[in-house]
């Protein structure tokens, strides 16, 4: 039974989401403030989190960043009243995996939860013949889900790890945008999904200190996709 974390200062919304999740046989842990979560997160075994963005003291963006900085890689879905594209991009940049805009249909949220858990399960259950890739300062271990860059460990989210693994596994070849999205997210690709890919690629480059005009590692093949040279 997957364990879902809900963090929302609006008690009525948190309680409603909890009911829908429990009806789908999910185990739910619920908090009404970000600080409560941080005080208890090390004692929780979370499979996915749903975070409200607009919360007092510490908003969802800050909470997400704290969770990622602490090394937690479970999927995070933002529930946000903010509808500007820049807010969505910011959320993805700091480590979120998806978002729904308030007011949302509970069934839509459930569908997104299932999609994220399905992607994680597909990844966790996949078996590859080559479990460690080591080249050009990159060492990525598919068994332990660890990434070392120039001998320094770098924490990645599950989506970031999946993207980097796919590029490294196919190094020297271009991975088209639609192939990348469908393999990593497990969903059909649409043109609008290119922005989501771009945000995660940018985040990976930042973690690899490779954000110049001509990145040394993750190359953009404009209009096609991305590749890592051998």
Q: What are the structure tokens assigned to 113, written together?
A: 């939860």
Q: What are the structure tokens assigned to 206, written together?
A: 């930042």
CB 141 within 8 A of CB 128: no
CA distances from 76 to 46, 157, 193, 194, 217 (A): 10, 10, 17, 19, 27
Q: For residue 116, which of 187, 63, 52, 53 has the smallest C-alpha distance?
A: 187
Q: What is the pLDDT of residues 176-229, one digit of tens each?
A: 999 999 999 988 999 889 999 999 999 999 999 999 889 999 999 999 999 998
Q: What is the pLDDT of residues 22-32, one digit of tens each?
A: 999 999 999 99
Sheet holding 138-141, edge to edge: 132-135, 138-141, 146-149, 152-153
Whole-number Å distance between alpha carbons of 200 and 26 = 28
Q: What is the pLDDT of residues 85-134, one digit of tens each?
A: 556 667 677 888 888 888 888 889 999 999 999 887 765 554 444 588 98
Q: Is the pTM of this model over 0.95?
A: no
Q: Which residues pair with 160 in a beta bridge?
A: none
**Which pLDDT value is given to residue 94?**
80
Q: For residue 65, which of 41, 92, 104, 100 has the smallest C-alpha distance?
A: 92
Q: For residue 161, which of 71, 88, 37, 85 has the smallest C-alpha distance?
A: 71
């Amino acid at each position: 039974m997957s364990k879902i974390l809900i963090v929302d200062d609006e008690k009525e919304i948190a309680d409603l989401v909890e009911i829908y999740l429990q009806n789908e046989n999910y185990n739910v842990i619920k908090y009404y403030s970000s600080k409560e979560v941080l005080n208890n997160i090390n004692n929780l075994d979370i499979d996915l989190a749903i975070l409200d963005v607009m919360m007092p003291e510490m908003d969802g963006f800050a909470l997400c960043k704290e969770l990622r900085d602490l090394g937690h890689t479970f999927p995070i879905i933002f529930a946000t009243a903010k509808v500007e594209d820049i807010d969505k991009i910011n959320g993805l940049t700091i480590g979120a995996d998806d978002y729904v805009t308030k007011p949302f249909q509970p069934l839509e949220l459930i569908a997104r939860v299932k999609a994220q858990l399905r992607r994680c399960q597909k990844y966790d259950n996949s078996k590859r013949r080559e479990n460690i890739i080591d080249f050009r300062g990159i060492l990525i271990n598919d068994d332990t889900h660890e990434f070392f860059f120039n001998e320094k460990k770098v924490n990645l989210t599950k989506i970031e790890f999946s993207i980097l693994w796919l590029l490294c596994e196919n190094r020297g070849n271009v991975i088209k945008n639609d192939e990348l999205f469908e393999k990593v997210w497990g969903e059909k690709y649409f043109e609008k999904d290119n922005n989501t890919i771009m945000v995660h690629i940018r985040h990976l480059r930042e973690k690899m200190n490779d954000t110049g005009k001509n990145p040394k590692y993750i190359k953009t093949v404009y209009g096609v996709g991305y590749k890592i040279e051998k």
